[in-house]
Amino acid sequence: MKKITNQILKKVIRQRPADSYKGTYGRIALIGGSQNFGGAIIMASLAAVYAGAGLVTTITDPTNQTSLHDWLPEAMFVDNHDFKTAAPIIKGANVIVIGPGLGTDNLALSLLTRTFELVHENQTLIVDGSALTLLAHNHLSLPKPSLNILTPHQMEWQRVSGIKIADQTPTANQKAATALHAIVVIKSHRTEVYVNDTVYQNTGGTPAQATGGMGDTLAGMIGGFTAQFSDKAKATLAAVYTHSAIADKLAKKQYVVLPHQISEALPKFMLKNQAEN
């Protein structure tokens, strides 16, 4: 098992070239946020924008539009009932994040299956939250052309892999991750990332992070990092490390760390830890 340390940051976060523009840093579509779980997709979208994604569109229930724009005027909005408008956004994205607050009703299942049908090569698909539960309960297959990144907590991983939490050893997890042909980020107090034959373990993280929305934020960050940085596996490792490193720093001065505070700290953290050209 390899450790994820601060060494990953400068391998991934680069100084921005002067002649770049928003298109250089990727288009992300984030799909989720039912009427009850709007906060989840707002937190994921916030993380994607603050991590530096060039263009972000949030496909969500219309009841979330005002709150989304209150938090994040940078994000574009598409009504999740209007798949005719959503489809070209999904097809045109470099990265798709699906699942934070998506819920598990029929509309959620339809959004998931139609998104799986649309995704193509050169896209990164991040499957989180309710999308993992739907994937497991409906025995769906992951799309083949895209690079797929799964971000389950331990119960979601139990649902997807069939491995009970007590039996989630690196050997068992690796076998299941390999069978899925996906990068798998198994979240816990010491998150593990499964990439091909290698298991990585994060070295940071604090119980001050144990707040609803913390994983939604990580999903958006992985989206923002993979949209901008070319090595998608390393970008995932850097996002996992950054998420906990910011939390550890904030936790020195506060008892709990709120998910949106991690997002708000991202621009300064990334500037401080970038590799200079």
Ligand X SMILES: Nc1ncnc2c1ncn2[C@@H]1O[C@H](COP(=O)(O)OP(=O)(O)O)[C@@H](O)[C@H]1O
The verdict on 37 binding ligand NPW (CB under 6 A) reads yes
Contact positions with ligand NPW (CB under 6 A) in 85-114: 99-102
- Among 218, 194, 166, residue whose Cα is nearest residue 50: 218
Tokens of 223: 């989206």
| β-strand partners of 187 | 153
Choice from 113, 188, 261, 274 touching ligand NPW (CB under 6 A): 188
Which one of 5-13, 73-81, 128-136, 166-174 is the stretch in contact with ligand NPW (CB under 6 A)?
128-136
Report in angstroms the alpha-carbon separations of 136 from 104, 106, 130, 155: 11, 15, 10, 11
User: In the set 26, 33, 101, 129, which binds Mg ion (CB under 5 A)?
Assistant: 129
Phi, psi dihedral angles at 152 (to 5 degrees)? -80, 145
Using CA atoms, how far residue 33 sits from 149, 207, 219, in Å, is 19, 25, 13
Is 129 a residue that touches ligand NPW (CB under 6 A)?
Answer: yes
Residue 154 contact partner, candidates ligand X, Mg ion, ligand NPW, none, CB within 5 to 8 A by sort of partner: ligand NPW
Stretch that binds Mg ion, among 123-131, 138-146, 161-169, 174-182 (CB under 5 A): 123-131
Q: Does 165 bind ligand X (CB under 6 A)?
A: no
- Cβ atoms of 213 and 39 within 8 Å: the answer is yes
* Total binding residues toward ligand X, as defined by CB under 6 A: 17
Question: Is residue 271 involved in binding ligand NPW (CB under 6 A)?
Answer: no
Compute the least distance from the CB of residue 102 to ligand NPW, in Å: 5
Strands (E) in 134-197, as ranges, are 147-150, 183-186, 192-195
Tell me how far the alpha carbon of residue 122 is from its chain's centroid. Answer: 17
Contacting positions for ligand NPW (CB under 6 A): 37, 39-40, 99-102, 129-130, 133, 153-156, 165, 188, 212-213, 215-216
Point out which residues bind Mg ion (CB under 5 A).
Answer: 129, 215
